[in-house]
């Protein structure tokens, strides 16, 4: 993030299987907590990029790479609807620890 997006620091909002939370409507409380934390990061810390990240061998969302891609895209759409005035990117960390950008 620091190299590719020319930023000095990174605020991390983490939650087990976060990308999977957005794949169905059963996790509104968790999503509300994530939204609040992301809003604080943008409003108080000046963050300008939101990265939705999934990764290989995730215990919180144990699905295939393809399903992670779908979940990350769904999360990106939801986060975009929050109108937080930040760039939203999707990333997947594969089994070789390489970062794949999701369009």
H-type helices in the chain, by residue range? 2-5, 18-21, 28-45, 65-80
pLDDT at 31: 95
Question: What pTM did the predictor assign?
Answer: 0.91
Give the residue from 51, 42, 60, 59 showing the smallest Cα distance to 92.
51
CA atoms within 13 A on the CB side of 47: 22
- Out of 3.30.230, 1.10.10, 3.90.550, 3.30.1330, which CATH number does the structure's domain 2-102 have? 3.30.1330
pLDDT digits 0-9 by tens, 46-91: 999 999 999 999 999 999 999 999 999 999 999 999 999 999 999 9
- The DSSP bridge pattern shows strands 87-93 and 49-55 to be parallel
pLDDT at 6: 79
- How does residue 38 score in pLDDT terms, banded at 50, 70 and 90? very high
Instruction: Read off the tokens for 100.
Output: 């794949």
């Amino acid at each position: 993030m620091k190299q590719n997006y020319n930023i000095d620091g990174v605020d991390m909002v983490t939650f087990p299987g976060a990308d999977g939370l957005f794949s169905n409507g059963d996790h509104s409380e968790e999503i509300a907590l994530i939204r609040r934390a992301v809003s604080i990061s943008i409003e108080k810390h000046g963050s300008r990029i939101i990265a939705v990240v999934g990764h290989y061998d995730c215990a919180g969302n144990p699905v295939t790479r393809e399903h992670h891609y779908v979940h990350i895209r769904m999360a990106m759409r939801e986060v975009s609807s929050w109108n937080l005035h930040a760039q939203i990117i999707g990333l997947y960390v594969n089994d070789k620890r390489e970062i794949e950008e999701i369009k």
